[in-house]
Amino acid sequence: MDVAALVTWIVTAGFGFSMLTLWVRGGGTRTEGMTATTSHFRPPVVFGHFTIAVIGLVLWIIYLLTDTTALAWIAFGVLVAVAILGETLVIRWARDRRSTNLRRLAEQQIPPVLVGAHGIFAVATIVLVFLSALGVGGS
């Protein structure tokens, strides 16, 4: 169960790295110039989501190495924070997607299939981490 969570976590991170790349390449972090807004995502939210997720992954690996139950719960708490930030991003992404004049936004360069895959693996990771913390399935 806990190793399965590590695998889904790494896969989720892989999709996340691709999404971050598309957002940055689309001009998501550009602030210079007075031209039209390039993104509706606030960089601290994106980078916060990214950083907390990496910290959680590292905590999860330490949990796997040391088998400390408290760490599993901390990792779960971290994941909930990551999910809340991710949720605010995906809600904004989905809302903007409905209007055709916002198609040029940096985050709209991320295809739905990638967002969906990231989300599915993220949910799987949260469920697996929760079950591992509860002690279901053993290590």
For other proteins, the binding residues (CB under 8 A) are 17, 20-21, 24-25, 29, 43, 47, 50-51, 54, 57-58, 61-62, 65
Cβ at position 9, least distance to other proteins in Å: 11
Nearer to other proteins among residue 31 and residue 100 (C-beta): 31
- The letter for the amino acid at 70 is A
Nearer to other proteins among residue 54 and residue 94 (C-beta): 54
Nearer to other proteins among residue 99 and residue 139 (C-beta): 139
CA dist., res. 80 & res. 74, Å (int): 10
Residue 113 half-sphere exposure toward CB, CA atoms < 13 A = 0
Cβ at position 67, least distance to other proteins in Å: 12
Contact of 106 with 41, CB cutoff 8 Å: yes
Q: Of 125, 11, 6, 124, which Cα lies nearest the Cα of 65?
A: 6
CA dist., res. 46 & res. 98, Å (int): 21
Cβ at position 105, least distance to other proteins in Å: 18
Cβ at position 87, least distance to other proteins in Å: 21
CA dist., res. 133 & res. 127, Å (int): 10
Nearer to other proteins among residue 10 and residue 94 (C-beta): 10
